Structure 1
Amino acid sequence: MTKRNRKKEHYGSFLNINGEELKINSTEKLGVYPLIIEKFVVELDKMIARYKRVFVLRFDLHLRQYCDDNKQITTFIKAQVQRIKRKYKTKYVGYVWVREVERSKIQHYHCAFFIDGDKIRNSFALNQQIKAKWYKNGHRSVVPKPYYFLDKHNMKEAREEVIY
């Protein structure tokens, strides 16, 4: 039996997901995997359907040394979801993470949490918690725009920005 590669790269500026044409951050040189983008959009849309306001926190996590599996990130994300639920008294927390494919010897992960926007409006405390809890594994790098706040006044534009 031949194993199929599910990771088909896409190099266009737009991607069609569920009949919707979405602008994405992709170039002719830096492609994306449509399946990953689709899962991200599905998770975001589930939270938008659940809450009238959605807080999105985006961050990167780097390991100290190469690891063959994703056990560290899986354990970390599950623990963070439980902490967020307790601290912000929310029932649902959406999340996505993807392991960066690159030539570096030590992998890193791109991550995002989706949280009820009525429970959290600022990323400072959550970022500090993530940084402190991940420290034993490696470091957290700051992304240019670490959080987004979607509500009824900016839902369409903010959703497009988050997806991009």
Structure 2
Amino acid sequence: MLSHHSKIHIIRFDLRVYEYTANNGIITAFNRRLHKWLKRKYNLKRVGFIWCRELETAKQQHYHYALMIDGHKVNYPHEITNKVKELWQQLDGSEFFPDNCYYNVKRDDYETIQAAIWRISYLAKARGKGYKPDQTKNYGTSRIITTT
């Protein structure tokens, strides 16, 4: 994202479901709705994201999510987190937990970039992964091509 935008806005949050599902259809539907709304609302060309599926002590999975968008168009998450909550509840009425964690990252600001990477790296932890059918993914990411 930083190869396309000199400033990006990163929002980190968690999504819980009431019942276990063998696939990630709910996160796919969520992504489609959220990205459509974001692109229309903020006139965005691209939306970056990372999500991971975890299942630990609870009987149902939950998702950790990091959203990355053009920081020149958005620099505070309030309206977006409200929309995230609305969309997630429309899908299955489950819970949304804002992490109250967001970053405004500038391309050459090493310190802020490292802080955001540290926070997002939680999604890569091994614990809680793998409790799913073979064809179901533990992770999903956007595929944004780097520019030079």
Instruction: Give yes or no for TM over 0.5.
Output: yes
Give the CA RMSD over aligned residues: 1.3
Query: Equivalent residue for 1:107?
Result: 61
- Give per-residue Cα distances to partners, 1:49-77, cap 9 Å, x unaligned: 11000000111000011111100111111
* Offset of residue 101 of structure 1: 3.4
1:57 to 6, 11, 23: 11
- Using structure 2 for the length normalisation, give the TM-score: 0.74
Which aligned segments of 4 or more residues in structure 1 are displaced greater than 2 angstroms?
none
Structure 2 SS opposite 1:146: strand
Tell me the distance in 1 between the aligned counterparts of 2:10 and 2:63.
Answer: 16
Contact 2:39–2:45 under 8 Å retained in 1? yes
* Unaligned ranges ≥5, structure 1: 1-46
Letter in 2 for 1:113: L
Larger radius of gyration: 1
Query: Equivalent residue for 2:74?
Result: 120
Query: Equivalent residue for 1:142?
Result: 98
Letter in 2 for 1:108: H
- Give per-residue Cα distances to partners, 1:74-123, cap 9 Å, x unaligned: 11112111111110111011011100131310110000111000000110
* Unaligned ranges ≥5, structure 2: 119-148
Percentage of pairs with the same residue: 32
Letter in 1 for 2:57: R
Tell me the distance in 2 between the aligned counterparts of 1:64 and 1:113.
Answer: 23
